[in-house]
Amino acid sequence: MTTQRFMLGTAATVAALMGTTALAQDAETITIGGLATLEGPFAGPGEDGLRGVELAIEEFGGEIAGHPIEFITASSDGNPDVALESARRLVEQDGADILVGPLSGSEGIRIAQYAKEQPGTTFLNGGSAAIETTLVDPAENFFRFNTEGAQWTSPLGEYVVNERGWDNIVIVSEDYSFPYAQIFGFMATYCEAGGTVQDKYFTPVGNNDYSSVIAQLPLEAGEVDGMYVVLGGSDAVNFLSQYAQMGGQLPIVGGTNVTDQTVLTTQGPARELLPGILSSGPVSDNAELEAWQEFTQRYQDYFGDEGLPSPSLFASNYYTNTKAALLALQEVEGDLSNDHEALNEALSNLEFTSPTGTVSLNENRQATAAIYINEVVEQEDGSLALEPLERIENVDQYLGLDREAYMELGLPSRDNPSCPS
């Protein structure tokens, strides 16, 4: 046993040492680096994101035009500095030709900046969805084939005013760029339709005791019609459980991550609050779309019990971005010469059918695609899933405005936008 372990250890060390040189000699291999949060509050989403990458590579049989694809991974914890360090390792040490990632909003902004320093590498977003990543001084070699946070939520704001008759809400949110984007998109149409926001409560990512915030929230509907919750991963689980434990019953509309499969599969008090939550986002578990059902089937066949009952938002986004890279690689037959000139060109013009329908890029290399308004429902087998209420086609980066009108709204922050009661 000890000898065996020693042998394995030695082998691993030797392999690690040889890794870089071996790659340099074998120009045929194309290395894809996957970057996701395997630690911290978004560990669940990160794990499922990488499943998406694996699934896409497997779909192409692990090779493109005779070039074997090598898949390596690195982890972050939601912190932009850690993400940057991991991206550096993948690109500069492990020689990744293509990087797929990161997962979290602020990480994405940092990696898109880093992309400018590395013109010889092609960057595809993973799951991150802050607005700034592809809006403010976007990098030529950073492509985002998933829609972003504001696109996901803009149809929902209008919907809760018109269909549910809400006009006064409170917002509970994590305090960084992605939730800002979600609130920005939501409030853009919500305030326009006549809604007001009484208060916003921001909490640090990875906060674990929400009781002090909950103490300030109404426990049932009254003056306030409902609460808009923009939390992800274990943050969402913690908040909802504690709100339920305190007897809270205010109707909830959720940010996209709140109703993701990574949260819907939780057990315990949080689960009681989940059925009936409205949310919006790029995926819907029960969408009748053929491409989605095929994707779900392949995900379930490939991962079985290891995966989630239905692929999460993150699996879908990582898959879509990886698939875009592989389709473009196929088109240029693996030609990576001249700082990936041909590949980047092919990516810019790529249009294909993702699990959630047709996706294409605009001049900022940001996706335009369909968005769903969903409701969480309990299925016959007892599991929770997103049931589509409405599908809105072709939601673009500027939320249907022209570029100038959109830029005038300013960048999202804690205080922008605001529409107090």
Q: Which of these segments, 12-20, 180-188, 242-250, 385-393, binds another protein (CB under 8 A)?
A: 242-250
Q: Report yes or no: 165 and 190 within 8 Å, Cβ to Cβ.
A: no
* Tokens, residue 263: 């949260």
Residue from 260, 274, 272 nearest 308 by CA:
260
Q: Is 216 in the site for another protein (CB under 8 A)?
A: yes
Q: Is 303 in the site for another protein (CB under 8 A)?
A: no
* Tokens, residue 400: 């249907």
Q: Which of these segments, 90-98, 204-212, 276-284, 365-373, binds another protein (CB under 8 A)?
A: 204-212
Q: Give the separation between CA 147 and CA 143, rounded to whole angstroms.
A: 11
Q: How far is the CB of 275 from another protein (least distance, A)?
A: 17
Rule CB under 8 A: which of 128-167 touch another protein?
Answer: none
Q: Which of 268, 275, 276, 410 binds another protein (CB under 8 A)?
A: 268
Q: How far is the CB of 45 from another protein (least distance, A)?
A: 8
Eight-state DSSP code of residue 145: -
Q: Three-state SS for 248?
A: coil
Q: Give the separation between CA 362 and CA 369, rounded to whole angstroms.
A: 11
Q: Report yes or no: 329 and 63 within 8 Å, Cβ to Cβ.
A: no
Q: Which of these segments, 17-25, 42-50, 289-297, 384-392, binds another protein (CB under 8 A)?
A: 42-50
Contacts of 247 (CB under 8 A, 6+ apart): 219
Q: How far is the CB of 44 from another protein (least distance, A)?
A: 4
Q: Is 74 in the site for another protein (CB under 8 A)?
A: no
Q: Which of 34, 40, 108, 281 binds another protein (CB under 8 A)?
A: 40
* Tokens, residue 110: 């940092």
Q: Is 72 in the site for another protein (CB under 8 A)?
A: no
Strand partners of residue 69: 30
Q: How far is the CB of 265 from another protein (least distance, A)?
A: 6
Q: Which of 85, 140, 175, 363 binds another protein (CB under 8 A)?
A: 175
Q: How far is the CB of 171 from another protein (least distance, A)?
A: 12
Q: Is 410 in the site for another protein (CB under 8 A)?
A: no
The amino acid present at 384, given as its one-letter code, is L
For 56-118, give the DSSP string: HHHHTTTEETTEEEEEEEEEE-S-HHHHHHHHHIIIIIS--SEEE---SHHHHHHHHHHHHH-
Q: Is 204 in the site for another protein (CB under 8 A)?
A: yes
Q: Is 265 in the site for another protein (CB under 8 A)?
A: yes
Q: Is 269 in the site for another protein (CB under 8 A)?
A: yes
Nearer to another protein, 97 or 107 (CB): 107
Q: How far is the CB of 215 from another protein (least distance, A)?
A: 4
Q: Give the separation between CA 8 and CA 17, rounded to whole angstroms.
A: 14
Q: How far is the CB of 309 from another protein (least distance, A)?
A: 12
Q: Which of these segments, 22-30, 159-167, 240-248, 290-298, binds another protein (CB under 8 A)?
A: 240-248
Q: Is 197 in the site for another protein (CB under 8 A)?
A: no
The values of phi and psi at residue 216, to 5°, are: -95, -5
Q: Give the separation between CA 343 and CA 143, rounded to whole angstroms.
A: 11
Q: Three-state SS for 152?
A: helix
Nearer to another protein, 33 or 44 (CB): 44
Q: Which of 168, 196, 198, 207 binds another protein (CB under 8 A)?
A: 207
Nearer to another protein, 35 or 328 (CB): 35
Up-side HSE of residue 319: CA atoms within 13 Å toward CB? Answer: 26
Q: Which of these segments, 58-66, 181-189, 201-209, 251-259, binds another protein (CB under 8 A)?
A: 201-209
Q: How far is the CB of 246 from another protein (least distance, A)?
A: 6
Q: Give the separation between CA 52 and CA 386, rounded to whole angstroms.
A: 19
Q: Is 222 in the site for another protein (CB under 8 A)?
A: no
Nearest 5 degrees, angle CA 285-CA 270-CA 249?
A: 105
Beta 67-76 vs 30-37: how paired, if at all? parallel
Q: How far is the CB of 93 from another protein (least distance, A)?
A: 20
**Number of helices followed by number of strands (H, E) in the chain:** 14, 15
Q: Is 47 in the site for another protein (CB under 8 A)?
A: yes
Q: How many CB atoms lie within 10 A of CB 188?
A: 22
Binding site residues, another protein, CB under 8 A? 38-41, 43-47, 77, 175, 201-204, 206-209, 211-213, 215-216, 233-234, 237-238, 241-242, 245-247, 262, 265-270
